Amino acid sequence: MVTVKFFNLLRSKYDIHEVEVLPGTINDILMQIKVMYPELDLKDFENSVVFVNSNRIIHEFMYSQNVEDGDEIVFTHFVGGG
């Protein structure tokens, strides 16, 4: 299983902290989460910052990267204020 954690906007908007999903690409994993939480708006992920095992995924095309059993994905948004 792959552990997926949500922080900031995604956590507060959907009240989802952590889920377990099957391995696959990041896109596959997003589709699994969408089935589990149909109210999820995938547009909220467009500006998210993604980490796989603490390594930041820089470009959206990297969403085709395979995530293996035992890996951890973190979806977050950088927030600031002043």
- Helix H, strand E, coil C: the string for 18-29 is EEEECCEEHHHH
Sheet holding 18-21, edge to edge: 18-21, 2-6, 72-76, 49-52, 55-57
Domains in the chain and their CATH numbers? Answer: 2-76 (3.10.20.30)
**pLDDT at residue 49 greater than cutoff 70:** yes
The pTM (predicted TM-score) of the whole model is 0.88
The Cβ of residue 80 has, within 10 Å, a number of other Cβ atoms equal to 4
pLDDT given at position 81: 58
Instruction: Say how far apart CA 30 and CA 25 lie, in whole Å.
Output: 9
Q: pLDDT category, 63, cuts 50, 70, 90? A: confident
Q: H or E element: which one contains 55?
A: strand 55-57
